[in-house]
Amino acid sequence: MSKAMGETLGRLEAVIRDRLTAGESEASYVASLAAKGRGKIAQKVGEEAVEAVIAAVSEDDAALVGEASDLVFHLSILLADRGLSWDMIAAELDRRHGTSGHAEKAARPK
């Protein structure tokens, strides 16, 4: 990941945490979504994932970038709501680095 990407995700994560902490649902989309509960946040992540898939197979690159950005944004809200961070995601990806995807999947608990 580029330094800029890491800074962008860190800044996004900080803004989301601030808005979750403030809890001002009338002024913040993040807070209003969180006020609807984790299930609604997860549903929104799923919707954005489907939109990214559709963009990937039937739209241009700009549409996919937009939908991928929406997906990362909503996934960031879900992670923050669970008390998780992008650093934790990066650590897990680092742990998996150098391991065959097939081997990593086979080693997961059933």
Three-class HEC string of 6-29? HHHHHHHHHHHHHHHHHCCCCCCH
Q: What is the pLDDT of residues 15-29, one digit of tens each?
A: 999 999 999 999 999
- Name residues whose C-beta falls within 8 Å of residue 34's C-beta, 6 or more positions apart in sequence: 20, 23, 25, 41, 77, 81
What does the pLDDT average to over 67-78?
98
Domains within the chain, CATH numbers bracketed: 3-86 (1.10.287.1080)
Q: Please tell me the least confidently modeled range out of 2-16, 20-34, 73-87.
A: 2-16
Q: Is 76 exposed, middle or buried (0-12, 13-18, 19+ CB in 10 A)?
A: buried
How far apart (Å, rounded) are the C-alpha atoms in residues 16 and 13? Answer: 5
In this predicted structure, the answer to whether residue 95 has a pLDDT above a threshold of 80 is yes
CA 30-18-81 angle, 5° bins? 55
- Name residues whose C-beta falls within 8 Å of residue 1's C-beta, 6 or more positions apart in sequence: 90
**pLDDT: which is higher, 73 or 108:** 73
pTM, full prediction: 0.88
What is the pLDDT, as a whole number, of residue 108? Answer: 80
In this predicted structure, the answer to whether residue 1 has a pLDDT above a threshold of 70 is no
**pLDDT: which is higher, 26 or 99:** 26
Q: What is the pLDDT of residues 42-54, one digit of tens each?
A: 999 999 999 999 9
| Rg, C-alpha atoms of the chain | 16
